[in-house]
Structure 1
Amino acid sequence: MGTAFCLWFLCFLDLVFIFSDTLAGAQPQVPAVYVFGDSLVDVGNNNHLKLSLAKADFPHNGVDYPGKKPTGRFSNGKNIADFLAEKVGLQTSPPYLASKSNKSGGFPITGVSFASGGAGIFNGTDERYRQSIPLTKQIEYHSIVYENLVQELGSGPALDHLSRSLFTVVIGSNDLLGYFKSGSDLPKKTPPQQYVDSMALTLKQGLKRMHDFGARKYVILGVGSIGCCPSQRNQNKSGECNEEANYWSSKYNDGLKLMLQALKSELKDMDYSYVDTYNVFDSFVQRPTTYGFTEVKAACCGLGNLRAEVPCIPVSSYCSNRSDHVFWDLYHPTEAAARFFINTVFNGSQQFAIPINVRQLIAA
């Protein structure tokens, strides 16, 4: 009875939030959303990278997306970036590489996505995918967008526009997955504490660089419980989570929170919402029925044990009950999980978002 009520109440809240956002839809809550990160928020940049092995521009990706065609999203449908855009009343920020190739010139004033599947905080993280856009390059691309805005609007209006926009950063999972990947030699070179400390420090430098190009309101996602994704579970005969990977994911998040506090003291005009991705997805895994999930271990799309031995490719099988699964493929959440995630953190308590949630960040 309790679980059923919780599920009903969550659905009721979804309707309330959707209704309120619809009422506000005529006037977007922010002027733009700029997205930096990896495959969790890639909306098609990697489609334009000829050598990249981290692509999702083929079936069965996109089976539930409008038009039922693959778009480059690592999902059966929409991803976190799509649902965040919906929440603030904007269209999803298009891929930078698609905008760059647009013959009409310029970039959409409502935001751009620089996110790239396989990207990491460290420049070398993407090497196993042959080609990706690391965070440093994503920020370099943003500097071009910044200059373009200054030319179009003038310096003052451009800075005002950017200061009210959201800068969403979803990165770090690939750095950790690479460290804990079976056969990785990284642990022999660098102790785990030193590695996660270096991740936080490197990200700090990137965020400061983004600040140089107008970023003031940051939505920073911590890494999830990566040890519980199907690829990591598949490394254990028991199918249980990789607790070492989870431990160091949590330790990285601890360092990330401290780094953001220190950065806020350095950059007085910045505000941020740190999103506790680990806690949110852990609640999906530990209490799945509360959110309507029945499968938390296996991927929906793939082949082999837990559908995690072969990625989601055209010859893979995929489940018919996508909304019951937390994971779409080896690493990525289903559209249902992404929707619940954004609904949870956008208006969330400090259990899921600190020091303020995303809605409060918009109003700051």
Structure 2
Amino acid sequence: MKLCCVWCLFVRCIIILLGGVLWKTEGVVKLPANVSVPAVFVFGDSIVDTGNNNDILLTTAKCNFPPYGKDFMGGKATGRFSNGKVPSDLIVEDLGIKEFLPAYLDPNLKSSDLLTGVNFASGGAGYDSLTSQTASAISISGQVDLFKEYIGKLKGLVGEERANFIINNSFYIIVFGSNDISNTYFLSRIRQLQYDVPSYTNLLLQSASNFFKELYELGARRVAIFNIPPLGCIPFQRTAAGGIERNCAQNINDAARFFNAKLEDQIDSFNQQFPDARNVYIDVYTPLLDIILNYQKYGFKVGNRGCCGSGIIEVVALCNRFVPLCPNDLEYVFWDSFHPTEIVYKTLISPIVSKYLSKFL
């Protein structure tokens, strides 16, 4: 019995050593010597999902097939909704933690991955429970349940004291809201029968607030909350609601901005209520809108169509190996009709990490 305990302790030490050294990359952002960010955890939708939807039979929000992933790790389709890496991967890479962030439900997930962070995001999810239900995605509450399960596994690996250190000092990335506004409200119009935009955004905000509190109670202290991007300018919404000229759908952008303003106020209020919390509002709307509208300034040639197929409607199952691809995805802002290309994510994420990092320290 004593020998078994000694062996368990030895294994724990090896796991801690490997998780802290061997899988680190050289980050773009340099942390102060006295600051530790042991791991990154991601909750959200298809913008940050790295493969959790792959084995959900009922969902159509999956992309573990070509041409998705054509530029990722030798052209492997892993369930990332882009041609390459997504923001989850780029954030851990910029912080020097590891090369990419694995999905928690990846059947090949290693124990060592638990020490440096995993991804709970699910394509099609939203703050609104109806959004996740409609897409057969993992809801916010479902993602929290997975995080609770993860905590139990982590404590079994490294013990309660080290696990609590990891939980308290890691970064948490939250990316929800796009599917609520774009799909549940404006596309399917399910919620328009019940709510106007102000009241619907209040519903989303209440769900978001409850989620932030639950994460806080589980030990999360450094939480980056991304706002909703300019959804009216994505190719699909230009096609569906932008008129014959496929202009940006202003009403959809207005709804996104309306929610974002409330979200920023709510985060400020949360931090006042919990002084040791560092919940940070991350503005992606403004820089992404600038890239879309002024794409040539950033070196792109196409800003209103995706690389896959015609670029105006294709996404997930409609973006497949049988449709044509653009000659060079580096020239496109969007990969499919919803999601940006890897090069656009790279253009966005490094400046965002540099801009907001000090707010968490």
TM range (shorter): 0.7 to 0.9
- How many aligned residue pairs are there? 331
Within 2, Cα distance between the matches of 1:20 and 1:217? Answer: 19
Q: Residue 299 and residue 29 in structure 1: after superposition, are their counterparts in 2 closer, same or farther (change >3 A)? A: farther
Q: Give the aligned residue type for 1:121.
A: Y
- Unpaired stretches in structure 2, ≥5 consecutive residues: 1-24
Q: Give the aligned residue type for 1:148.
A: K
Match of 2:37 among 18, 30, 36: 30
* Corresponding residue of 2:127: 121
CA deviation after TM superposition for structure 1 residue 19, in Å: 7.8
The TM-score, its normalising length taken from structure 2, stands at: 0.85
Q: Secondary structure at the match of 1:250?
A: helix
CA deviation string 1:309-336 (max 9, x = no partner): 5631222221122111111111101001
Asked whether 1:189 is paired with 2:194, we answer: yes
- Are the aligned partners of 2:36 and 2:169 in contact in 1 as well (CA < 8 Å)? no
Match of 2:321 among 296, 314, 319: 314
Within 2, Cα distance between the matches of 1:179 and 1:51? Answer: 18
Within 1, Cα distance between the matches of 2:229 and 2:56? Answer: 27
Match of 1:93 among 101, 113, 120: 101
CA deviation string 1:27-73 (max 9, x = no partner): 99620000100000111111121221111101110111121121100
Asked whether 1:223 is paired with 2:231, we answer: no
RMSD: 2.4
CA deviation after TM superposition for structure 1 residue 22, in Å: 8.5
CA deviation string 1:156-202 (max 9, x = no partner): 33222212100000111001112444452321211110101111111
* Corresponding residue of 2:275: 268
Within 2, Cα distance between the matches of 1:198 and 1:341? Answer: 29
* Corresponding residue of 2:10: none
Match of 1:158 among 154, 163, 167: 163
Q: Residue 43 and residue 182 in structure 1: after superposition, are their counterparts in 2 closer, same or farther (change >3 A)? A: closer
Q: Give the aligned residue type for 1:207.
A: F
* Corresponding residue of 1:146: 151
Within 1, Cα distance between the matches of 2:112 and 2:40? Answer: 16
- Are the aligned partners of 2:175 and 2:226 in contact in 1 as well (CA < 8 Å)? yes
Q: Secondary structure at the match of 1:232?
A: helix
Q: Residue 320 and residue 163 in structure 1: after superposition, are their counterparts in 2 closer, same or farther (change >3 A)? A: same
Match of 1:342 among 349, 352, 359: 349
Match of 2:334 among 312, 316, 327: 327
Within 2, Cα distance between the matches of 1:109 and 1:229? Answer: 36
- Are the aligned partners of 1:302 and 1:330 in contact in 2 as well (CA < 8 Å)? no
CA deviation after TM superposition for structure 1 residue 150, in Å: 3.1
Match of 1:360 among 343, 353, 358: 358
CA deviation string 1:95-122 (max 9, x = no partner): 11125x76x7786111110011111112
* Corresponding residue of 1:111: 117
Q: Give the aligned residue type for 1:62.
A: G
Match of 1:211 among 201, 208, 216: 216
Q: Give the aligned residue type for 2:114.
A: P
Within 1, Cα distance between the matches of 2:65 and 2:158? Answer: 39
- Are the aligned partners of 1:62 and 1:73 in contact in 2 as well (CA < 8 Å)? yes
Within 2, Cα distance between the matches of 1:83 and 1:203? Answer: 24
Within 1, Cα distance between the matches of 2:313 and 2:180? Answer: 20
Which 10-residue stretch deviates more, 113-122 or 171-180? 171-180
Which 10-residue stretch deviates more, 315-324 or 37-46? 315-324
The TM-score, its normalising length taken from structure 1, stands at: 0.85
- Unpaired stretches in structure 1, ≥5 consecutive residues: 1-17, 349-356
Q: Secondary structure at the match of 1:124?
A: helix
- Are the aligned partners of 1:28 and 1:90 in contact in 2 as well (CA < 8 Å)? no
